[in-house]
Each structure stands twice: as C-alpha cells, then as structure tokens.
Amino acid sequence: MSAQLDASRIAQLRLAMGSELEGVADRLSQSMSSAIEELEAALRAGELQRARQIAHLFRNDALSVGARGLFEPLERIESAARDSQPEAARRAMDELGQAWPATRAELERLAGRGGAH
C-alpha cells in the first residue's frame, strides 16, 4: 500500500472485513469519483452550502481508509464553504483534484481492479 491510504487502517479493515474489503474499496472509489464531480459542480455554481455537505460526507469516506491526501483538502473545502470563502474552497478543490488520481488508483488496486482508469 502506498502513502495514499493509511496502511494500518487498511490492515484493520482487511482483518475486520476479509474479502469484503474489495467490494467496499470498489464502492468507495465510485462514490468518491461521483462526489468529486458533484463538489466541482457545486463550487462552479457557487452553491457553498451544498459543497459543504458534499465535502463533509466525502471527508468521512476519506477518513475511513486513511486517505489523508483527500481528507485535508476536503476539510479545507468544508471550512471555506461554511465561512463563505469560495476562492479558498476552489484552491482546496485544486489540491483535491491533484491528490485524487493516485488515491483512486490505490482504491482500485485494493478492489482488485489493478488501478486501471
């Protein structure tokens, strides 16, 4: 496992879930991809309340697998949206966009899809 996902968290999940972890990782990869699209759309539309809600839910998913590269920008998006700071939210969204491809690849490998995308 690379630094994209917390190895100790993945080990805990693997112990608790066994082979079900592959399906969970696959669903997380898909839901996180959708969340990024929804978050980008909300920020483009200036819908900060919606962006805050999406970032909060997405942050919980990132936390579940120890995806710190996603968690930190999502936390900043949530905070900036709550504080009505659209520029700060967009900057954090750019960071999220940079971190997402490597994290998605790790989730896909964990799901047994080899990271192809």
Ranges of the chain whose pLDDT falls below 50: 1, 115-117
**In this predicted model, what pLDDT tens digit does every residue of 24-43 receive, in sequence order?**
999 999 999 999 999 999 99
Instruction: Locate the domains of the chain by residue range.
Output: 7-110
pLDDT at 2: 53
* Nearest Cα residue to 40 out of 107, 100, 82: 100
Q: Do residues 5 and 107 touch, judged by C-beta distance below 8 A? A: yes
Is the CATH code 1.20.120 the one for domain 7-110? yes
pLDDT at 17: 92
